[in-house]
Amino acid sequence: MRFYYRAYVACIAIYLAGSSLLLCAQPAPDYVWYRNAVVYALDVDTFKDSNADGIGDFQGLIQQLDYLHGLGITVLWLSPFQPTPDRDDGYDITDYYGVDPRLGTPGDFAEFMFQARQRGMRVIMDLVINHTSDEHPWFRSARQGKHSPYRQWYVWRDNRPADAGKGMVFPGVQKETWTFDSVSTTYYFHRFYDFQPDLNYSNPQVEAESKRIIGYWLNQGFSGFRLDAVPFIIEEDGKNVDRPEHRFDQLVAIRRHIQLHGQEAILLGEANVAPEESNDYFGKDGVGMQMMFNFFVNQHFFYTLATGELQPLVRALEQTRDIPEGAQWANFLRNHDEIDLGRLTTRQREKIYAAMGPDKNMQLYDRGIRRRLAPMLGNNPQRLAMAYSLLFALPGTPVLRYGDEIGMGDDLRLKERLSVRTPMQWTDAPYAGFSTTAPFRPVIDAGEYDYRKINVASQRTDPASLLTLTTKLIRLRKEHPAIGLGKWIISDHKAGDLLITQFTDERETILTVHNFAPNRASAELACPGQVLTDLFSGEDIPVKNGKVQLTVKEYGYHWFQVR
């Protein structure tokens, strides 16, 4: 039998020979904390500026920790904050062991970590170890020639490979995966932009360095890592870019190394793979990554939101059901990138484009949409509320992107993915309360998503706001951990517009109902209890002869406790 528990420090004063000896039992590790967490993803530079230079920083983030704590967040996920030329919004790193001076000092970072712990929040960070910036000292040395000690830290060819035009992560923007280096007069490999050369994980020195990086940041207090671009880290770089071989033993080695430093620390993987491949990443017997983003369900979620066709989402949930004991999916609506629709058919993708991103400027990389959630759903309050209710009622751990709790919009004037990375909108004061001076990236100051209309301050006092709803959903999710920890089934019924899911653990049974249609929908379903209590309204609905009749308004939703 598996027990999930949290033990608290207990101190006993024992008096021996006239003196006291204080014995303290340390907390037992909470190994599965991630299974009932609420994750909030943010960029330090776009969250809050404390020193009026137009760039968010760690001191600004500290100022807003009480807001995040009040919202109910239990885990903060930080985008890259290390030194960078910032050509790819921080994902081009020049020093893995530093803090970008624009964001503050190492002391500011340490104070942030302390203040987060004081509020009971864990922190995880982006671990970007697939590639470096081309300005990193390792690459600068490697360019000098074959005798450089860092030459084999990257992947080189004397001649341009025949498949240099294949395997790009950013098609339509990126032209090739091999770029000629004028200094060494050879070609280097890069899955991402040409200023982000891939590290060579066939080199044991690179693997050893990645472990040092992991150990360093774990010792700074992190509870884990969002591992960036996982499939590309474990492939044999430069070979078979269309169908590369993957070394899953590397994930096992990283997991074991992390556990040596901190048994509670986790790996949250970014791996947009087919369902049948997912257990290779979780690892046999659960010895790989503890968590992965469920891109497959996310893409079908958007298809159902766009079309009202429920069965593709139901199938996606069932296809991703079987994962190792202790593993967990991370569910999200929007993240810091485009919505990747690459796992859908061309026909399905075109339907989503037509409904949510019809203009070419809204689409990106021949596979996705570069918009925030609110604009994609037409800023319809009912659809937004239903979508967020389902996010928190999916089997797995919910991940919320900063600003989505208030329905922020996007700025399509910005290039590529920067459109969804605009400064946080705190108030209706100039520059959205993000800064007292013009930000390094413009705030949204026109249209229906203007910061004077959409901001935290105004929504905090509005009982009907998206922020108020999000806060309530987070509270309900934390109060009913069966959704994150329990067994689940999708109820079989005849109403094709209703997604009805039942979650059960040793304490309770929760029933959630979501209507994807713009009209009322009804269903009769079998129910194991005698009464359904609506967790939003407190209303009781009687169950008669083991069955209950439910009617749900257009884009409506309910969470019931089965009594």
Distance CA 523, CA 517 (A): 13
Residue of 293, 224, 270 lying closest to 30 (CA atoms): 224
Please give the Cα distance from 386 to 559 (Å, whole number): 11
CATH number of 137-189: 3.90.400.10
pLDDT at res. 263:
72
Q: How many CB atoms lie within 10 A of CB 416?
A: 17
Tokens of 302: 């958007």
Q: Is 270 a catalytic residue?
A: yes
Question: How distant is the alpha carbon of residue 419 from its chain centre?
Answer: 18
Distance CA 81, CA 109 (A): 10
Residue 148 confidence (pLDDT): 97
Domain ranges in the chain are 33-130+211-478, 137-189, 487-562
Pinpoint the alpha helices (H) of 220-372: 230-233, 249-261, 278-282, 295-307, 311-319, 346-356
Q: How many CB atoms lie within 10 A of CB 482?
A: 19
Q: Are strands 521-526 and 531-534 parallel, antiparallel or unpaired?
A: unpaired
Please provide the DSSP assignment of 546-558 as one string. Answer: TEEEEEE-TT-EE
Report strand pairing: 397-401 vs 39-42.
parallel
Catalytic residue among 176, 228, 237, 404: 228
Question: Is residue 292 a contact partner of residue 478, using CB atoms and an 8 Å limit?
Answer: no
User: CB-based burial of residue 239 (10 Å sphere; 0-12 exposed, 13-18 middle, 19+ buried)?
Assistant: middle
Q: Coil, helix or strand for 268?
A: strand
pLDDT at site 286: 81
Question: What pLDDT is attached to residue 430?
Answer: 95
> Which residue has tokens 């300005």?
135
Q: Are 61 and 402 in contact (CB under 8 A)?
A: no
How many other β-carbons are positioned within 10 Å of the β-carbon of residue 30?
Answer: 15
Contact 317, 297 (CB under 8 A): yes
Residue of 270, 338, 340, 497 marked catalytic? 270
Q: How far apart are CA 257 and CA 250, in angstroms?
A: 10
**71 membership: H or E segment, kind and range:** helix 65-71
- The CATH code of the domain at 33-130+211-478 is 3.20.20.80
Element (H, E) at 59: helix 58-63
Close Cβ partners of 137 (under 8 Å, ≥ 6 residues apart)? 94
Give the span between the Cα atoms of 106 and 121, in whole angstroms: 20
Q: Which candidate, 418, 333, 438, 441, places its Cα nearest to that of 370?
A: 418
Which spans in 393-507 are helix H? 456-460, 466-479, 482-485
Q: How high is the pLDDT of residue 222? A: 97
The candidate with the shortest Cα–Cα distance to 157, out of 173, 176, 130, 138, is 176
- List the chain pLDDT tens, one digit each, 563 residues: 333 333 333 333 333 334 333 333 333 456 789 999 999 999 999 999 999 999 999 999 999 999 999 999 999 999 999 999 999 999 999 999 999 999 999 999 999 999 999 999 999 999 999 999 999 999 999 999 999 999 999 999 999 999 999 999 999 999 999 999 999 999 999 999 999 999 999 999 999 999 999 999 999 999 999 999 999 999 987 788 888 899 999 999 999 999 888 778 999 999 999 999 999 999 988 889 999 999 999 999 999 999 999 999 999 999 999 999 989 999 999 999 999 999 999 999 999 999 999 999 999 999 999 999 999 999 999 999 999 999 999 999 999 999 999 999 999 999 999 999 999 999 999 999 999 999 999 999 999 999 999 999 999 999 999 999 999 999 999 999 999 889 999 988 777 889 999 999 999 999 999 999 999 999 888 888 889 999 999 999 999 988 899 999 999 999 999 98
Q: For domain 487-562, give the CATH number.
A: 2.60.40.1180
pLDDT number for residue 29: 52
Cα dist. 319→81, 263, 482 in Å? 36, 30, 21
* Domain 33-130+211-478 matches domain 137-189 at the CATH topology level: no
φ and ψ at 291, to 5 degrees?
Answer: -135, 150
The values of phi and psi at residue 501, to 5°, are -125, 135
Mark out the alpha helices in 308-345 (DSSP H runs).
311-319
For residue 534, give the H/E element and its range.
Answer: strand 531-534
